[in-house]
Structure 1
Amino acid sequence: MTAAPITELNDRARDIFRVVVESYLDTGAPIGSRAIAHLSGLNLSPASIRNVMQDLEELGLLAAPHTSAGRMPTEIGLRLFVDGMMQALEPSAEEQAAIAARLTHAGPVEEAIAATTAALSGLSACAGMVMVAKRELVLRQMSFVPLSAERALAVLVGADGSVENRVIALPPGLPVSALVEAGNYMSAMLGGLTIDEARARIEIEMADERAELDGAARTLIERGLAVWSEDGDRRPVLIVRGQARLIDDAAAADLERVRDLLDDLEGKQDIARLLDNAAAGDATRIFIGAETKLFALTGSSVIAKPFRGLDGRVVGVVGVIGPTRLNYARVVPMVDYTAATLARLMG
C-alpha cells in the first residue's frame, strides 16, 4: 500500500497523526483517543479523535495492535512522517565534539573509524555501522619469523602504524639467513611504497639483476608480497559497534526478532550489501522495516549516509540500525554529521 501525500490530510488529521507518531517514537507503545485528548491540547473530544484515527487507519497510516489498545503508526505511516512532517534537530555542540574527538584517535585508521562508530552508537542509542574501502597498505617495515621448516610468519608494519601477519609457505631447504636478508631488503628498499608499487619495483630490480639478493631471498620476497595482494587488499571493511543497544526493554518482548537481527549483524554480508546500496547517491537513506528485504521480519530501521574523499569519490558509508521507533529527527542529522567527520578523516 502507498501512503497518501501528507498534503491530502486535513489539519485535524495531520495534528492527530503527528501526536500518535511522536508518542510511539517516544514510548514504543500505541496511544488511545483519551490520552490524545488529554495530552495534545487539540480541544477535541475522544470520540472525534477516535473517528479521525479510524480514517487514518483506513489509509494505512495507523494500526491497532490489539482491540481497544489505541493506535500506533504503520511502517507506511512512519515513512510519511519522516518524508513530510519530521523536523530535524541538529546535533548539539557536545554531541559534535564527542564524534569529532575520535578523529584524533592514535593508531591505524581502522581504529579511528571504529572509535567514531562507537561514539555514534552511544549517542544514537543504536548500533553504529560504517563500511569503507580498505586503503592500500603503505609499507614501512617487513620481517619474516620462522615457524617451522616449511612455514614462516610474514610481519608487515604499515606507514599508519598498523601491523598485519600472514603465514606463508617456505621453499624446501630455505636457510634462516634468507629470512633475515629478505626482511632487511624489503624494509630498506620498499618502505613508503604500496604493495602493488613494491611488487612492480621488485620485478624491475630482478629483471635488471640489480637486486643484490640470492634466489632464496627473492622467492621469499615474492611470496611475502603476493600473499597481501591475493587476499583482497581492497576488500571493504565493515565495522559494527553497539549491538547490545538493540536489546532494550521493548525488545525483550520479541527476543526472536532481536536474535535474528543480531545474526544478521554477525554475518555482515547482508548489512554490507545494504550499505553498498546506500552509497549510490549523496542523500541520507532511511530504510524502514519491510522496505528492505533484509529487515522485513525484524521491525528495524537503517539510516545510512555515504561520505567522499578529496577526489569526490565515495569512500564509505556510515549508518545506524535500530528499532523502527527510533528518534529519526535526532538520529538523521547525527548520521549526517558523522559522515562529514569521516570524510575529513579519510580525505
Structure 2
Amino acid sequence: MTTPPISELTTRAREVFRVVVEGYLGTGQPVGSRTISRLAGLSLSPASIRNVMQDLVELGLLESPHTSAGRVPTEQGLRLFVDGMMQATAPSAEEQAQIESRVRGPVEDALAAASATLSGLSACAGIVLVPAREPVLRQFAFVPLSPNQAIAVLVGADGTVENRVVDLPPGISPAALTEAANYINARLAGRTLREAEALLHSEIDRGQAALDAAAAELIGRGLARWSEDGASRPVLIVRGAANLIDPAAAADLERVRQLLDEIEGKAEIARLLDSARLGRGMKIFIGSENKLFSLSGSSVIAAPYRGGDGQVVGVVGVIGPTRLNYARVVPMVDFTAQALTRLMA
C-alpha cells in the first residue's frame, strides 16, 4: 500500500493522526477515541473520532492491536509523521553541555564517550562507526606452509600482530620469501599499507626495486589483501544495549533476544550505518524499512561526522524501539555529530 502524502489528509484526519502518534510515542500504549475526545481543541465526538481513525486504518497509517480497542501508528504512519509532521526539539542547554563536555580529548576516548552519552540521554543503545584506520607497518615476515602457500605475519607500529595465509606465485623460492620480507622491513616500515603499496609500485615502475618479479608480485598481493581487509573491517562502538530491555520490551522476550542478536552482529550494523556515511546526511530507519531490523521492530537514527578536510569519516547514532521520541532524539544525534566534527577539525 502506498502511503499518502500528509497534504492529502484532511485537517481533521491530520489532527487525529498527530494525537494518536504523539500519545503512542509518549506512553507506548494504544490511543482510544475517548482519550482523543477529552483533549482541548478537538470538538469531535467519540463516534466521529472513531470514523476518522478507521479511515486512517484503511490508509495504512494506523492499526489496532488485538488486545486493545485503541490505535497505534504503523511503520508507514511513523514514517509519515517523522517526515511531514514532527516538530523537532533542540537539545536543552544541559544536554548540549553534557555532550560537549564528554566529546573531547583523544579521539578514541571521545568516540566511546559519544556513544555512552547518547545512550544515557536517549535511553537507547548508542552507536558510533569509527573511521577505518590502517595499521602502520613495523615488521613483516613470511613463514612457508607449502610450496603454494605461506603465512604472512604483519606487526604494526602499535604492537598488534596479524596473520594471513597467502597464495604464493608459481615457482617462488624460499630465498625470494626472505628477499620480499627484507625489502618490506627495509623500505616500507613506518608507512601505512596504502603508502607502502604506492611506494612499491613507484619503485617497480622506475626500476628501483631490488626484487625479482615473483617477490614483487607477492608483496603487492599481500599488501593489497591487507588493505582490502582493513577497509572492510567494521569498527563499531555500542554502549547501553541494556537500555533496550525496558518493561514494555520485556513482555516480548523473543523480540528483545532478536534485537540483541542483531546488535551483536556488528558487521551488519556497520554496513547499515555505512549508508548514512555514503548518503552524507541524517538517516532514520524505522522497523522493517531495513531488513536487518525487520524482526525486532527497531529504529535507527544516524548522522555522519566529518574530519578536518570536511569529508565524512564516521557515523554516530542510536538504536531503539520504533516507539522512541524522534522529535527529541533526532536533534540530539545531529548535535553529537556536530560535536564530533568540531573535535576532528
Shared fold (TM-score, shorter chain, > 0.5): yes
Which digits, 9 at most, give the CA deviation of each residue in 1:276-316, with x for residues without a partner? 22223233111111111112221111112223323343212
Offset of 1:101 from its aligned partner? 2.5
Q: Match for 2:317: what amino acid?
A: G
CA contact 2:135–2:156 (8 Å) conserved in 1: no
Offset of 1:9 from its aligned partner? 1.6
Give the 5 Å matches for 1:1-347.
1-66=1-66, 68-106=68-106, 109-137=107-135, 156-157=156-157, 164-166=160-162, 193-197=191-195, 229=226, 232-241=229-238, 242-347=240-345
- Matched residue SS, 2:279: coil
Name the stretch that deviates more: 56-65 or 280-289: 280-289
- Paired with 2:303 and 2:286, the residues of 1 have a C-alpha distance of 15
Unmatched runs of 5 consecutive residues or more in structure 1: 145-150, 173-183, 211-221
Offset of 1:90 from its aligned partner? 0.9
Which digits, 9 at most, give the CA deviation of each residue in 1:158-214, with x for residues without a partner? xxxx65344799xx9xxxxxxxxxxx999xx966x435546877997xx9899xxxx
Q: Match for 2:235: what amino acid?
A: L
- Paired with 1:102 and 1:62, the residues of 2 have a C-alpha distance of 40
Offset of 1:24 from its aligned partner? 0.5
- Paired with 2:73 and 2:259, the residues of 1 have a C-alpha distance of 21
- Paired with 1:202 and 1:292, the residues of 2 have a C-alpha distance of 42
Change (3 A) 1:199 1:12: closer
Change (3 A) 1:33 1:230: closer
CA contact 1:105–1:115 (8 Å) conserved in 2: no
Q: Match for 1:90: what amino acid?
A: A
Q: Match for 1:121: what amino acid?
A: S
- Paired with 2:60 and 2:223, the residues of 1 have a C-alpha distance of 57
Which digits, 9 at most, give the CA deviation of each residue in 1:128-152, with x for residues without a partner? 222233123457xx699xxxxxx9x
Q: Match for 1:269: what amino acid?
A: A
Q: Match for 1:260: what amino acid?
A: Q
- Paired with 1:163 and 1:25, the residues of 2 have a C-alpha distance of 48
- Paired with 1:326 and 1:40, the residues of 2 have a C-alpha distance of 25
Offset of 1:67 from its aligned partner? 5.9
- Paired with 1:68 and 1:298, the residues of 2 have a C-alpha distance of 21
Change (3 A) 1:156 1:75: same
- Matched residue SS, 2:268: helix
Q: Match for 2:272: what amino acid?
A: L
Offset of 1:35 from its aligned partner? 1.4
CA contact 1:305–1:318 (8 Å) conserved in 2: yes
- Paired with 2:70 and 2:197, the residues of 1 have a C-alpha distance of 67
Aligned twin of 1:148: none
Unmatched runs of 5 consecutive residues or more in structure 2: 141-150, 166-173, 175-184, 211-218
* Aligned-residue identity in percent: 61
CA contact 1:102–1:115 (8 Å) conserved in 2: yes
Offset of 1:56 from its aligned partner? 1.2
Aligned residues: 327
Q: Match for 2:71: what amino acid?
A: R
Change (3 A) 1:112 1:163: farther
- Matched residue SS, 1:232: helix
Change (3 A) 1:208 1:5: closer
Offset of 1:233 from its aligned partner? 3.5
Aligned twin of 1:214: none
Aligned twin of 2:178: none
Give the CA RMSD over aligned residues. Answer: 4.2
CA contact 2:154–2:162 (8 Å) conserved in 1: yes
Change (3 A) 1:68 1:258: closer
Q: Match for 1:54: what amino acid?
A: Q
- Matched residue SS, 1:35: helix
